[in-house]
Amino acid sequence: MGYSSTDHSLEIVMRKATALLFASLLVLSPLSTLAASDTERIQMLEQQLRQQQQVLDAMRQELERLKAGEDSLVQAGTAAPGEQDRARAEQEPELAQTRGDASLNVYGHIQLDAIYDFKRVDPTWESTLRPSTIPTVEDTFGADGNTIISVKQTQFGFKGTTPTPLGEMKSWFEFDFFGTGSDAGDTKFNLRHAWIELGSLGFGQTNSNFMDISIFPNVVDWWGPAGMVFNRNAQIRYSWAVDDSAQFAIAAEKPNGSFNSGEFGEISPGFDDIVKARTRYPDITARWRDDYDWGHYQVAAVLRYLEIEARGIADAPSPENETGWGINLTGVINTVGRDQLKLGLVHGEGIASFFNDGGVNLAPEDNRAEAVPITGVTAYYDRYWSSEWSSSIGFSVNDADPRKQQAADEFDSGVYASVNLLYTPYPELLIGPEFLYGKHEDVGGRSGEDYRLQFTLKHKLGRTF
């Protein structure tokens, strides 16, 4: 920061005064040591004090003169010191803006889901409804009718803010017990978010930049609409606030390649062990979001490099690659009171791994790998009957365009629909039933359906430090 003329003049005055004080001390101190009697020493000390008082009087007069000059400058239109500080703060990354106490919000909920499945699904995923897990051949997973009681949706996490020299750091860590991957079907730790935001920069794992979490409806089923984009990814993201309502963000995300060998895997069971998806480059996603009083709209896009290669064999053929792409259009419309209409339309090629359920990125056609086209539609209405009662009703469709050499039992399309009535006697407690319907159609044209009734009890916990 620069000095004002007042600051400079004051500095000169202080230097002069300091010099005079030291001079008087240097002159008088030796004299005092030469004094022969107490009377002489007292007289010399009195003389020294008078000279010091003269210096202080001179300093006071100079300060009054400077203050009078400063007041005249302010009256002439020069900014007062406080206004100068505010002007500098607007132009510089002032650390004072980030100073403050760190905060930590610990939160979570205990949730129990009691489910009666009128049909049957893959037991690994019986605690939720995924259309792709509904069998298209009768009795594949046993006779109709099954009861499931689960606490897998129990969830805990924390959100914190911490001042740093670069601004406020926001942190987010959250997990539930809905085992996925190698833990699918088990009540085990499942990381949802491990995320840091520092200004415009974000990194860690969180919702994909290609996704709009705002259109997820007020349902108690864990999985949710099959035809919406829903994927939590490791990523690095940069966001810009375009204006008061609009934001643009771009991210490099963890690639998720997948390849179904189709008929080749049926003919040669070892084919899947040789031909694998390769993820050479990250997925690039971009998002534009605009918020208004009536709701919001969002446009997101993804571009990805898809590739397969043969492993573990001599003279392997060159890897095959395809370009995957997708557009996701979403929006929320505020209607009456707290009610909201939530809409989503997504289409692309080779982007099935971004969908909430079903499909594959690459599949064989004409003896080569091709990106599989896929379309998703979601429409839900969240209705708030009162401060205590609410409902959500809607449907979602996930429809792929299979390749010619895909296997007959592979996923082609899925339908997900639900309706509920939820009671919240106080903000932390939620109770209510939900009815769900799902349908799965495979590449061979066979289909299966599932109906289930879920009753949920959920109590929120939390404390801010």
pLDDT digits (tens, 9 = 90+) for 322-340: 999 999 999 999 999 999 9
The angle formed by the CA atoms of residues 73, 79 and 81, to the nearest 5 degrees, is 100
Taking the C-alpha atoms of residue 143 and residue 139, their distance in angstroms, rounded to an integer, is: 5
Confidence at residue 34, expressed as pLDDT on a 0 to 100 scale: 42
Closest CA to 103 of 156, 193, 170: 170
Give the pLDDT confidence score for residue 101 in this predicted structure.
82
Q: What is the pLDDT of residue 118?
A: 98
CA distance 54 to 164: 49
Q: Return the number of other C-beta atoms located less than 10 Å from residue 118's C-beta.
A: 13
pLDDT at 458 (0 to 100):
99
pLDDT at residue 156 in the model = 98
Alpha-carbon distances of 296 from 195, 251, 293, rounded to whole Å: 24, 21, 8
SS3 at position 204: strand
The structural domains of the chain, with segments of one domain joined by +, span: 103-464
Sequence-distant (6+) residues with CB within 8 A of 245 are 290, 291, 292
Alpha carbon separation from 361 to 131, 179, 231, 374 (Å, rounded): 18, 23, 14, 9
Short-list 349, 319, 323, 344, CA closest to 332? 344
What is the predicted pLDDT for the residue at 302?
Answer: 98
Q: Is 98 exposed, middle or buried (0-12, 13-18, 19+ CB in 10 A)?
A: middle
pTM over 0.85: no
3-state secondary structure of 89: helix
Q: Give the tokens for residue 10.
A: 């004051």
Sole residue written with tokens 């003169």: 65
- The per-type count for the chain, helices as H runs and strands as E runs, is 5, 21
Domain boundaries 103-464, corresponding CATH code: 2.40.160.10
- Give pLDDT < 70 ranges for the chain: 1-42, 44-46, 48-49, 51-52, 55-56, 58-59, 62-100, 260-274, 312, 314-318
Torsion angle of the four alpha carbons 133, 136, 142, 145, in this order, in degrees rounded to the nearest 10: 70
